[in-house]
Structure 1
């Protein structure tokens, strides 16, 4: 860790200006953040809508092709399989995407995140990063976590701060207050 950043974070923690979270990130955390991103961003809602529409259309065409005696053999199966795959991605896409992070999450080990007025400092076993408010200027809150999102169309960058990581239940309110002062809530 950079000594100056570490000392600043420690000073902020000691005087009560910062909130510290300690947790192990899980695939469920990543899947949850992906679902939040898809629900709270325009591009995520559009993508989900297209998959729902196309999946339903393909299933409907497959059923019509089954009823039509003149349809080519295999055509109904192709439509039905295509529609089912799209619907499976709508329902299970975030879990499938989160599986790709499995090895990285295990290597990360215990994560310490310090949130203060200057941003978020995240330290894991082999890495440390400082995220300024401008890098991820939006956030969403759920019952399980705070999810910080970048401002680009797809909200590619995101940071998950699971509420289970706070040291004291009152820290959830303090964390929300810091985020409200510095970020736009979705």
Structure 2
């Protein structure tokens, strides 16, 4: 029998969403999509401006030391806060939906949970990113649009899941 005949044609991923899943997903999207890179660049510019402003205020001295310290304290929040805030918001939104069941087959992806079922055809999930812990299915390479998060811990056959996704979606390379 050929390899094609042995190929996995459907796969189920079951998982309960965790904040770490969304943190990793948002971090990866920030590094590997155009909007994410633009956002990171803007945050770095704001953080650099805050650091320079804090330095200038510190040079002035006196009463300006408190604003300088406050500005400097904001730098880590500007750099690292947005993806954590997004992850927390999404985690809260899905917390009451229980276990997620994602069925992937030759037609597309069905995401089911306690509150709803969503069907996405492969044309709506044309690209994917793979990390150590996740597969991320994306609608677009530069503008991700809809993102389906698939934690690898929810799959019984990671190799089969990877092959199924690879047959239907184009891999985006992580640099």
TM bucket (normalised to shorter chain) is 0.7 to 0.9
Give the secondary structure class of the aligned counterpart of 1:155: coil
Using the TM superposition, give the Cα deviation of residue 117 of structure 1 relative to its aligned residue in structure 2, in angstroms. Answer: 1.7
Counterpart of 2:112? Answer: 123
Name the CA shift for 1:181/1:79 in 2 (closer, same or farther; >3 Å): farther
Which whole-Å CA distance do the structure 2 matches of 1:34 and 1:177 have between them?
A: 24
Which whole-Å CA distance do the structure 1 matches of 2:122 and 2:71 have between them?
A: 41
Query: Pick from 162, 165, 172: which aligns with 1:176?
Result: 162
Counterpart of 2:43? Answer: 51
Structure 2 gap segments, 5+ residues each? 1-6
Structure 1 gap segments, 5+ residues each? 1-14
Counterpart of 1:29? Answer: 21
Written as runs of structure 1 = structure 2, the 5 A alignment for 1:68-79 is 68=60, 73-74=63-64, 77-78=66-67
Name the CA shift for 1:116/1:82 in 2 (closer, same or farther; >3 Å): farther
Which whole-Å CA distance do the structure 2 matches of 1:80 and 1:47 have between them?
A: 25
Which whole-Å CA distance do the structure 2 matches of 1:85 and 1:149 have between them?
A: 32
Could you list the per-position Cα deviations for residues 124-175 of structure 1 after superposition, in whole angstroms to 9, with x for gaps in the alignment? 01110111122221110001010112217542321100000012xxx21111
Which 4+ residue blocks in structure 1 deviate beyond 6 angstroms?
A: none
Using the TM superposition, give the Cα deviation of residue 102 of structure 1 relative to its aligned residue in structure 2, in angstroms. Answer: 3.3
Name the CA shift for 1:38/1:104 in 2 (closer, same or farther; >3 Å): same
TM-score computed with the length of structure 1 as normaliser:
0.78
Counterpart of 1:146? Answer: 135
Corresponding position: 1:91 with 2:91? no
Equivalent residue pairs, number: 166
